[in-house]
Structure 1
Amino acid sequence: MWVFSEADDNIRYVNKDEEKLIEEEEEVERNGELLFCGGTSWDTLTNYGHPDNTYGNLISPTRLTPLIGVNIRDVAAGCASSHCVALDVEGRVYTWGKNKRGQLGHGDMINRDRPTIVSGLSGHKIIKAGAGRAHTVVVTNDGKSFAFGWNKHGQCGTGSARTEFQQSPVSSQVSEVTNVVCGGDFTVWLSSVEGSSILTAGLPQYGQLGHGTDNEYNTKSSAVNLAYEAQPHPKAIAAFAGKKIVKVACGTNHTVAVDSEGVVYTWGYGAYGRLGHREPKDEWTPRVVALFQKKNVLPPNAIVAAGAHNCAVTAGGGQLYMWGKLKVTGEDCMYPKPLLTLSGWNIRCMDSGATHNFVGAEKSCISWGGSQYGELGYGPEGPKSATNPKKVDVLEGMHVMSVACGSYYSLVVVDRTNVGDKLDQLDVYEGKPFEEGTADAKAKSPGPKKGGAETPSNKRKKSKDLSESAEPKAISPAPKKGGSDDDENGHVEERKRVGGKQGRGNGAKSPAAGKASGRGRGRPPSAEKKSTQPRGGGSGGKR
């Protein structure tokens, strides 16, 4: 029989046989120790697997001096992010890492090596957090949500994209929030409001918001440059009006969700089969993953995760299924397949980064994928990468409570109970004090300008924001939509139309031409391109 369990003001479905285990986990929660491995040269982490140098790489799970002895309950990072978020049991928020868009929430744009409490949230108890490419969103124990960082596409959910950089926490326009996750430049909230259990805001470019459109338009009536309207108002996904979404995870530009009946849905960017529909096509509205329905729905305690190029869930018996681009080389996995090497493991938590994966199991921690920055935690004698799951030896015997993968780093929370001797043997990282380099950072940080925060480059334009019609609007420039990850991650500066409306799925093939990694386009037949100039003018700008 399934019963409700109320813990930390969040309602969960649990099996009555598991109530004792959950009570034990809640007790353990008060003894969480955070460990870090991977790159700490924050400004170079998103060079997509090509580190400029190895300075600052922590290749073994390492304790962070400011958090030693602090009881951490949860951590957040994103597969496109270069910053970290940690929550302690008292509801305080710690952030550190890259801060060029104010994503740390400290009122400035200065990077931090050391975890620092977000003072602007001191009056609230934070229970959930999500980290995007350059923004952070948190949830309080009374159902409110706050955000900070890059807001060019409206991803902070404030109702306006007029202020591009939110350097301190601001309120998001959502209520009765129970959870939040972030994609690269968009945000997904779960809410207890009936009929609005899932809401999204931010960049709509690949349909990742789930509203049936990418909000694309021409920057000028005769121009070839395309852009995407910012979506700053959190909006409930209409396709789920009669359903209750209970779990969600985001990749850079795609989303995976599970409803209260255990049915799995995906939508957004479809390259490499990351949506699990046996075709590399974008989906602008939620689509059921065929394998996980009817008699094969997910159990209430299932784990859901997403990386830059993949999705993962645990099904009946705890079996882990994954799909998408699972290895740097080799063919893509176009539909969910069981990861048999982890069959029989009691998987408690999982996350995926840009190219790596981390799993917390009973008394073991397992990782695999790329590790150019040491993000797998294998240490100086370990392999530089792992095609198959491999134990992180120094964590063997430790109870893993939570994991989070950033672009090229990993966060692991372990129970320090009875493993004090093992923890004492781990490396300790002090990090550069905040004062060091402050002057240089201030000199490089953009200063304020009349009418709002100045962008890092005077060539950068704002997204079109329909909520601010009185002010001239600029655009969200559009990268090309080919099959490459450079396109997805914003490396392509601008996009030109090369054919008719239907030509979007017929562009250049991916490097693996002829394989399943190509991609099509899921534009509904009725969707029409907007060819009018955005209100207030504005010309195309480079991303």
Structure 2
Amino acid sequence: MEVEGEMAMEGGTGEEVKGGEYRRVILISAGASHSVALLYGNVVCSWGRGEDGQLGHGDPEDRISPTHLSALDGLGVTSVTCGADHTTAYSESCVQLYSWGWGDFGRLGHGNSSDFFTPQPIKALDGVRIKQIACGDSHCLAVTLLGEVASWGRNQNGQLGLGTVEDSLVPQKLQAFQGIPVKMVAAGAEHSTAITEDGEIYGWGWGRYGNLGLGDREDRLVPQRVSSVKGEKMILVACGWRHTISVSTSGGLYTFGWSKYGQLGHGNFEDHLTPHKLEALRDHFISQISGGWRHSMAVTSDGKLYGWGWNKYLVVLGGFFAISSDTAWRWCLVSLLADTGGNSWWRWCWFGQVGVGDNVDHCSPVQVLFPHDQKVVQICCGWRHTLAVTDRQNVFSWGRGTNGQLGHGDSFDRNLPTIIEAMSFDGSSGRQIESSSVNLLSGKFWIPSSGRFAVVPDETMQGQVAVSQGNGSDASVPENDMRIG
């Protein structure tokens, strides 16, 4: 749900991460409970929740520290993007987009609803040059070098922009942008947005909270231009779960949509159905933005980071806990299990994804501070955690850590930025980043329990895989389904 501009093109030889050699982080991305980073030399690392294969290491195991994704070595990966429980990587040299993870609703683009536990090429996009990818909860968007847009995955609210509510198992071109070059796209849980090369913003999909910016709460099945911002051209857009953030050419920050937890930043908890300028940051020029599940982040041109919105999850009262929900508080009984490794059951109740040292929701921007006044050069929100890269070439994370998505070697939450030692210049020098052991040519893949879509080894074809047809409804991937580049 982060903002990504044009692909990072810094390369290298793709040599292995060994001996604790420090590698500068080029890109970061965060999903619901996992994180991915692209390091100098086209090296990809992932960590966090792995149950749905979103880490790409060939198994369903969590990784509590950054782990080298060796399956992508030698492919020249230049960009990585997380969806909620899936991941994509693009190779400029191979002109190929790869995806892996949870495959329900066709969000991986492979023509089926199967889960993949290692990166697989999206055949429908073979040879299509892509400048930007956006992944939401269950759908994906891609912008080609020509400014055309393709979408695939879940479409129950029209978030694919194809004029229907039918899911798409393979990428399809959006006809609504014919003749309208698109600069960038963003994807929320069930809505999508785009900014055109001439600075216009478009919204489509689920619009119940005004997150499309069109002045109402209606869904849209095709992209529709937002006309409420007079005289301002937009250059950046990001989606949270049910809210949207945009930045104008003058550096002004606008938010709209759902604000129950203060994620719009206007000092209250009121929804806005059209883009509303964030007055608290009016004296700053905003250079980067990112939207989480219910929180938001913005970086100023001088490297200051501000956060606001939802900052906690569960409230513990003795042997009970309250779960925050959209409609009510639901009370549940917790069995007090034996403490293992000092990780008491109550310790993961407070997330702190805003990063300001407390667990209180913030309806106005609050500055996030870093050691030695480091400036932020990159920011990315996951659902309940946040990642940042500073000008000292350090990577920090904070928020929920239950599945190891913070990358600190444990499963604790943090409510202040904490350095990821293995990926930071000021971290533990000599610390080795472990590599995943999966070998794509070995034919060995983890096979989930029956009833779940999975990648199954084809014993007759060395180094290739066949897809199990769990419900008989999966489609074959057409070799030339799409030619949009």
Q: Does 1:209 align with 2:212?
A: yes
1:297 and 2:284 are equivalent in the alignment: yes
Q: Give 1:472's aligned residue.
A: none
Q: For structure 1, which runs of at least 5 residues remain unmatched after alignment?
A: 1-5, 11-24, 46-53, 216-229, 400-418, 450-543
| Secondary structure at the counterpart of residue 427 of structure 1 | coil
**Matched AA of 2:284:** V
Q: Is the 8 A contact 2:67 2:433 kept in 1?
A: no
What SS is found at the alignment partner of 2:161? coil
Q: Pick one of 258, 262, 267 that aligns with 1:278.
A: 267
- Work out whether 1:167 is the aligned partner of 2:169: yes
Checking the alignment, whether the CA contact within 8 Å between 2:403 and 2:411 is kept in structure 1 is no
C-alpha distance in structure 2 between counterparts of 1:44 and 1:127, whole Å: 22
**Which of 222, 239, 244 is equivalent to 1:250?**
239
Contact kept in structure 1, 2:65 and 2:407, CA below 8 Å: yes
Are residue 113 (structure 1) and residue 117 (structure 2) matched? yes
Gaps of 5+ in 2: 10-25, 28-37, 314-349, 351-358, 454-467, 476-485
Shift of 1:242: 3.0
In the other structure, the counterpart of 1:100 is: 104
Asked whether the equivalents of residues 214 and 284 of structure 1 are also in contact (C-alpha less than 8 Å), the reply is: yes
Counterpart of 1:72 (choices 77, 83, 89) is: 77
Measure, in 1, the Cα distance between the counterparts of 2:68 and 2:163: 39
Q: Which moved more, 1:335-344 or 1:119-128?
A: 335-344
Could you tell me how far apart the structure 1 residues matched to 2:205 and 2:6 are? Answer: 30
Alpha-carbon offset, residue 448 of structure 1: 7.3
**Of 123, 128, 133, the match for 1:124:** 128
Distance in 1 (CA, whole Å) between partners of 2:426 and 2:160 is 36
Percent identity of equivalent pairs: 24
User: 2:46 is matched with which residue?
Assistant: 36
Q: Secondary structure at the match of 2:114?
A: coil
d(CA) in 2 for partners of 1:142, 1:29: 27
SS in 1 for 2:124: helix
Secondary structure of 1:266 counterpart = strand
Q: Distance in 2 between matches of 1:114 and 1:447?
A: 22
For residue 403 of structure 1, what is the aligned residue in structure 2? none
Q: Does residue 428 of the first structure (1) align with residue 436 of the second (2)?
A: yes
Aligned to 1:267: 256
Q: Distance in 2 between matches of 1:84 and 1:8?
A: 16
**3-state SS, counterpart of residue 228 of structure 2:** helix
Change (3 A) 1:72 1:443: closer
Aligned-partner residue type, residue 228 of structure 2: A
Among 363, 368, 371, which residue is 2:398 paired with? 368
Structure with the higher fraction of residues in helix conformation: 1
Counterpart AA for 1:427:
S
Name the residue aligned to 2:329. none
Q: Which amino acid is the alignment partner of residue 298 of structure 1?
A: F
Q: Note the C-alpha offset of 1:332.
A: 1.1
Cα distance in 1 for partners of 2:423, 2:474 equals 46
Contact 1:121 1:169 in 2 (8 A): yes
Give the SS at the match of 2:280: coil
- Equivalent residue, structure 2, for 1:89: 92
Alpha carbons 1:210, 1:284 under 8 Å: kept: yes
C-alpha distance in structure 2 between counterparts of 1:103 and 1:126, whole Å:
17
Tell me the TM-score normalized by structure 1: 0.63
Q: Cα deviations across residues 53-85 of structure 1 (Å, max 9, x unaligned)?
A: x9510111011232123332222224xx11111
Instruction: Confirm whether residue 347 of structure 1 aligns to residue 376 of structure 2.
Output: yes
Cα distance in 1 for residues equivalent to 2:182 and 2:381: 24
Mark the CA change 1:145 to 1:398 in structure 2 (over 3 Å): closer, same or farther. Answer: farther
Shift of 1:244: 1.2
- Name the residue aligned to 2:306: 321
Letter in structure 2 aligned against 1:166: S
Match of 1:396 in 2: 424
More divergent stretch after superposition (433-442 vs 323-332): 433-442
Residues 433 and 126 (structure 1), Cα distance of their counterparts in 2 relative to 1, 3 Å cut: farther
Distance in 2 separating the partners of 1:434 and 1:206: 42
Which SS does the other structure have where 1:69 is aligned?
coil
Aligned partners of 2:232 and 2:249 also within 8 Å = yes
Pairwise CA RMSD: 3.2
SS at match of 1:238: coil
Contact 1:39/1:374 (CA < 8 Å) preserved in 2? Answer: yes
- Rounded to whole Å, the distance in 2 between the matches of 1:68 and 1:44 is 17
The secondary structure found in structure 1 opposite 2:156 is coil
Letter in 2 for 1:36: S
- Structure 1 range deviating more: 421-430 or 147-156: 421-430
Query: Against the structure 1 CA distance between its residues 256 and 363, is the aligned structure 2 distance closer, same or farther, given a 3 Å change threshold?
Result: same
The whole-number CA distance in structure 1 between the counterparts of 2:240 and 2:368 is 19
Q: Match for residue 160 of structure 2?
A: 156
SS at match of 1:101: helix
439 and 272 in structure 1: CA distance in 2 versus 1, 3 angstrom threshold: closer
Contact kept? 2:394, 2:419, Cα under 8 Å: yes
Question: What is the identity, as a one-letter code, of the residue corresponding to 1:85?
Answer: T
Query: CA offset at residue 160 of structure 1?
Result: 2.4
Change in CA separation of 1:274 and 1:8 when aligned onto 2, cut-off 3 Å: closer
Deviations 1:211-267 (A, max 9, x none): 01112xxxxxxxxxxxxxx41110111113532111111110001111000111000
For the residues of structure 1 that align with 2:233 and 2:285, how far apart are their CA atoms? 14
CA distance in 1, matches of 2:60, 2:122: 27
| Deviation of the 1:44 alpha carbon | 11
Q: Do the aligned residues in 1 keep the contact of 2:86 with 2:102 (CA within 8 Å)?
A: yes
Q: Give the conservation status (yes or no) of the 8 Å contact 1:320–1:342.
A: no
What corresponds to 1:19 in structure 2?
A: none
Secondary structure of 1:272 counterpart? coil
CA-to-aligned-CA distance 1:4-47 (integer Å, 9 cap, x gap): xx98799xxxxxxxxxxxxxx89x997331110011112999xx
Provide the rounded CA distance (Å) in 2 between the counterparts of 1:139 and 1:424: 36
Post-superposition offset of 1:130? 0.6
- Tell me the amino acid that sits aligned with residue 47 of structure 2: C
Please state whether the residue corresponding to 1:127 is helix, strand or coil. strand
TM-score norm. by structure 2 comes to 0.71
CA distance in 2, matches of 1:448, 1:98: 15
CA contact (8 A) 2:43 2:69 kept: no
Q: Which of these residues, 128, 141, 145, is aligned with residue 145 of structure 2? A: 141
Match of 1:447 in 2: 473
